Amino acid sequence: MEIQDFKSVVDAYKIIFFDAFGVIKSYQGLVPGIEKTFAYLAEQQKEYYIVTNDASRSPQQLAESYHRLGLHAIVPDRIVSSGMLAKEYLDMKVNDGIVAYLGTENSAHYIDSSGLHTLPVSAINYTNIDQVNALVLLDDEGFNWFDDLNKTINILRNRTIPAIVANTDNTYPLSGSNEVAIAIGGLASMIEAIVGKRFIRFGKPDSQLFMFAYDLIRWQQDIKKKDILMVGDTLHTDIIGGNKFGLDTVLVLTGNTLAADAEMRIRSTGIMPTYICEDAVVR
């Protein structure tokens, strides 16, 4: 398992897709030095896209969160999130009634803007449950896990409605240490198993998110998949998803996959990145 220099890897591609958590930032802040990467890409006239399993906020708000951390290079129209796909689904497929959600008010505002009537799971009761026409799982924060996960089970036992998972991640890294937190995708899998129903999941490794970004690019220029590099910290989302979509991939060791485990995990899962780099920093 050879560790390669990120800059020399990047030089062979025209467009770089970055996962967000564990690559650019952690729960605690930016990956140190990452702003140099974006400066280099701008200088070299390479394009970037943030391709992220995140339904907690709008692209506008996500961009602002990078600016607050000091990374001013990120602009909203370069952010492609699983939340955008979930929003698109709800716009097309749910026409009336209530969309119950698990997540922050902020995450629901983003969905709301499409004219849907969203209510937190905590606000569902016997007077309105019959109007609930979809359930969407947006974020692991913003609700009481004990009360609202239990209520979610009972909503889904009572109503035959689509349940949408707007972020398929099981965990997200809290910091540069080995600490992680359970993401909404992990909670979704528990609920899915308990109620025995099949949820609709948006986000990597599914190709729909990669296609969304790819379409944005193709709209403007003639680009081939071989010109795109996917950079991620998680084998079973970023890497297998990128591989399957036909992209070359870099595994970085600043998030879910620790340096000590990387080789063992690649061998045991059979998920092979094209390259491995310590981080996504151009030095």
Q: Does 28 bind its own copies (CB under 8 A)?
A: no
Q: Does 161 bind its own copies (CB under 8 A)?
A: yes
If the CB atoms of residues 75 and 182 are measured against its own copies, the closer one turns out to be: 182
Measuring CA to CA, which residue among 145, 58, 174 is closest to residue 107?
A: 58
Q: Return the ∠ at Cα 88 (arms to 86 and 91), rounded to 5°.
A: 110
**What amino acid is encoded at 52 in this protein?**
T
Q: Does 178 bind its own copies (CB under 8 A)?
A: yes
Which span sits near its own copies by CB under 8 A: 19-27, 50-58, 62-70, 180-188?
Answer: 180-188
Among 36, 67, 72, 93, binds its own copies (CB under 8 A): 93
x-or-dash pattern for its own copies, window 29-68, by CB under 8 A? ----------------------------------------
Asked if residues 233 and 19 have their Cβ atoms less than 8 Å apart, the reply is yes
Which span sits near its own copies by CB under 8 A: 40-48, 64-72, 107-115, 202-210?
Answer: 202-210
Q: How many residues in the chain?
A: 283
Q: What is residue 132's three-state secondary structure?
A: strand
Greatest CA separation for the chain: 61
Asked if residues 250 and 275 have their Cβ atoms less than 8 Å apart, the reply is yes
Among 30, 119, 129, 149, binds its own copies (CB under 8 A): 149
Q: Does 129 bind its own copies (CB under 8 A)?
A: no
Here the tokens at position 141 are 């924060």
Residue 93's contacts (CB-CB under 8 Å, 6 or more residues apart) are 134, 162
- Binding residues for its own copies, rule: CB under 8 A, are 88-89, 92-93, 140, 144-146, 149-150, 153-154, 156-158, 160-163, 170-171, 178-182, 186-187, 189-190, 193-200, 202, 206-208, 211, 225-226, 235-236, 240, 243-246, 264, 266-272
